[in-house]
Structure 1
Amino acid sequence: MEKVMRLASDKGVVIFSKSSCCMCYAVTILFQELGVSPVKHEIDQDPEGREMEKALSRLGCNAPVPAVFIDGKLVGSTNEVMSLHLSGKLLPMLKPYQI
């Protein structure tokens, strides 16, 4: 849990992902199209990936990946990110991190 929280608060927009996950890719592309370069942590390529996945579940992420953090706070997975985007609430959250 400590590693996940440290990595999540390291940069403004952080995505915990798996390299073979199409939804992780879609969320990453969404952020890039909104002018944000998120930091991605591929948990399937991390030796502590299983522990990280469990920690993400304990933090309340329904699907273990993608797990999106903005400003060190868990936003959620694909459904939560897309809901925020469709309601117009995502862009203001990303404003400080746009390039």
Structure 2
Amino acid sequence: MYIINFIVSIIAIIIGINIRRNKRNYLIIGYNKLDEKERQLYNEGKPLTTASNIFIISGILLIIGGILAMRSPVPNYLTIVSWGVFILFIFGGTLYINAEYR
């Protein structure tokens, strides 16, 4: 179970770094559906930075959850909690990006 935490956290961190370095606008929900006028209203840097931060921080949270689960007497509980925090953080971050930058 810990290995899955570490693998998914590495993938999330790589996605976050990829968004930040390569300006992956198409990874933001709904950006492809916008007209050219609406795209000009977007400040592309802020949503990309926020999305990148969300993925990097969520990856770090999974790593911390995996480390705590390895050292805990109830490892399955902490693993489930770390996944719950990961999912809530990604979901909340997506809602924040869509609400804040429109």
TM-score by length of 2: 0.31
Choose between structure 1 and 2: higher helix proportion. Answer: 2
Larger Rg: 2
TM-score by length of 1: 0.31
